[in-house]
Structure 1
């Protein structure tokens, strides 16, 4: 399913890993007779404010075919060789994180493994690494983070980070191509950077969108909620009490198409068929009359996307 692929990608890109030990790398350590590798030192760059200006794949794109955007967000300042301060947009403040150095320019900070590819007082290029079991894949993800010193941006480039962070022309052309495919076939939908909006047009229906609470596990960042928008819908005076969870496609015109149930049936095909039939009927009746739907878009381009729906029906004689 698309959701599984997206979550797998998210895990790989952000590298939200449990810190075990920097010396448990599968090929770590110096072999007998090899020259000792020195730990990287950030001392020459302590106190310099760096802002991430791009985060791209090896092909130069910041988007993939699922609509996931590698968004440059980080601002950081090395405090010492064992501490780094990283800006949290949610808290609107810098947060100090322990910094653990490994061999060959590898370090861990903010629950992420990174490898310095290039560093000087004006810029840094890092590659995101991922952990596999108790080893670190030093081949890298081929996802690169590019930072410029704030002073360099202002006094040498004479611009600002907002301008530098804008998606490239190649990104725009790529999204246009994905949108064309999704328009021709809604099942080729991809995540919208500005998710589809669902609102109620009846006092009998309430709609709310779920949001992830920022915490230490997601580095106080819930900006990737757009990958799987979840909506809770409550319908009063329904024909009976019910509760269904399923995915739903929303095309570029705002039309609704049933996706798949979000519950398991343990091989009970009859129960599954009944669930799909009934929940699809709810979508095609109540949703059509009681909801306003605005399709999602990415880089200003409207396209088909998918949402997850959790709908509760309360019969007229429902006491709660």
Structure 2
């Protein structure tokens, strides 16, 4: 289960990501206003193409304590004071959006409220604002988007978008600390940017990671695939039919350690039996039949957690069924 802090961080990221799918107090040196109630103007940077190079928390990091990484996604240009052009990662194209200007450097576009913290021809710093229905929290969510002009990246920094989007030294140092803790004590596991892989070593067993399809109904939320990887496993020719759901710690060497059941219990005796039997399944079938590649972040393997739904059946696998059909009516 995600904590409140995780859910809040996910919400802020999803607010920006989902908005790109729909096609339908003054600070010195930010914007030159004629008065305190002037609307913000983007005339000075009209037509300049900006690319988001980092998205950071107030402490300057792109990672939180749970290993969740805020990733830069936006490509943005201001067409006029009432429209923007933004790249949609789902549509794979640039889309024009209306722009509504507010006071105190606040504006809305792509159904997202933002506040300008810095603006010039080379770079932008925008703070994400939390909104609820018709109200906007102008105090900010303390999540910041850093954008560089494409021309600045190419002709001043003499580099590429991919390079400037690399995690910072502070991010790397922070993740190293998390990795050291998690690999010293696997119960301090955190979400892996590259999740655990389960590779079957036998035609009798199959494992498939659940992948969330981004839709309007789930607000295009696929972050659980990163935060809480979930696998469906089928074991054929098992000693009996069974079904168990539980979490597993996978350490940096790929070893499995039992976590906790994923089902509710009303009887403590049944809970103990469930844990004993499901842990035995993990220590026998899963460890014997799977090659486990640990999760990693920034190229560093570390302990992370996964959720497993394991189905055992005494029947032999259908030799004519493809892998997809194995999970039908799972």
CA distance in 1, matches of 2:174, 2:280: 36
Report the alpha carbon displacement of residue 65 of structure 1 after superposing the two structures with TM.
1.4
Residue 85 to residue 133, structure 1, CA distance change in 2 (3 Å) = closer
Partner of 2:9: 9
CA distance in 2, matches of 1:288, 1:4: 34
Q: Where in structure 2 are the equivalents of 1:304-319 lying within 5 Å?
A: 304-316=303-315
| 1:259 maps onto 2:271 in alignment | no
Partner of 1:73: helix, strand, or coil?
Answer: coil
CA distance in 2, matches of 1:307, 1:65: 17
Partner of 1:75: 75
Partner of 1:126: helix, strand, or coil?
Answer: strand
Question: TM-score when scaled to structure 2?
Answer: 0.81
CA distance in 1, matches of 2:271, 2:132: 36
In structure 2, stretches of 5+ residues that fail to align are: 20-34, 319-328
| 1:50 maps onto 2:22 in alignment | no
Partner of 2:104: 104
Q: What per-residue deviation string (whole Å, max 9, x for no partner) do you get for residues 149-195 of structure 1?
A: 11122122222221111111111111111111111110100111111
Q: Where in structure 2 are the equivalents of 1:233-272 lying within 5 Å?
A: 233-265=233-265, 267-272=266-271
In structure 1, stretches of 5+ residues that fail to align are: 20-34
Contact 2:14 / 2:219 at 8 angstroms: preserved in 1? no
Q: What per-residue deviation string (whole Å, max 9, x for no partner) do you get for residues 105-153 of structure 1?
A: 2233334322111222221100112235763222212221111111122
CA distance in 2, matches of 1:317, 1:300: 39
Q: Where in structure 2 are the equivalents of 1:1-320 lying within 5 Å?
A: 1=1, 5-15=5-15, 37-131=37-131, 135-216=135-216, 222=222, 225-265=225-265, 267-316=266-315
Contact 1:244 / 1:310 at 8 angstroms: preserved in 2? yes
Tell me the number of residue pairs that the alignment of Structure 1 and Structure 2 aligns: 304
Partner of 1:212: helix, strand, or coil?
Answer: coil
Residue 317 to residue 160, structure 1, CA distance change in 2 (3 Å) = closer
Q: What per-residue deviation string (whole Å, max 9, x for no partner) do you get for residues 32-65 of structure 1?
A: xxx8723323344333211011211222211111
CA distance in 1, matches of 2:281, 2:76: 49
Residue 232 to residue 95, structure 1, CA distance change in 2 (3 Å) = farther
CA distance in 2, matches of 1:237, 1:84: 59
Residue 307 to residue 108, structure 1, CA distance change in 2 (3 Å) = farther
Q: What per-residue deviation string (whole Å, max 9, x for no partner) do you get for residues 255-295 of structure 1?
A: 10111222333x44333333323222221221011111001
CA distance in 2, matches of 1:198, 1:3: 26
CA distance in 2, matches of 1:66, 1:206: 29
Question: TM-score when scaled to structure 1?
Answer: 0.84
Partner of 2:193: helix, strand, or coil?
Answer: coil
Deviates more, 1:36-45 or 1:212-221: 212-221
Report the alpha carbon displacement of residue 69 of structure 1 after superposing the two structures with TM.
1.0
Root-mean-square deviation (CA), in Å? 2.9
Residue 5 to residue 120, structure 1, CA distance change in 2 (3 Å) = closer
Contact 2:10 / 2:223 at 8 angstroms: preserved in 1? no
CA distance in 1, matches of 2:52, 2:292: 35
Q: What per-residue deviation string (whole Å, max 9, x for no partner) do you get for residues 224-270 of structure 1?
A: 732221211111122233222222110011110111222333x4433
Residue 195 to residue 277, structure 1, CA distance change in 2 (3 Å) = same
Contact 1:199 / 1:207 at 8 angstroms: preserved in 2? yes
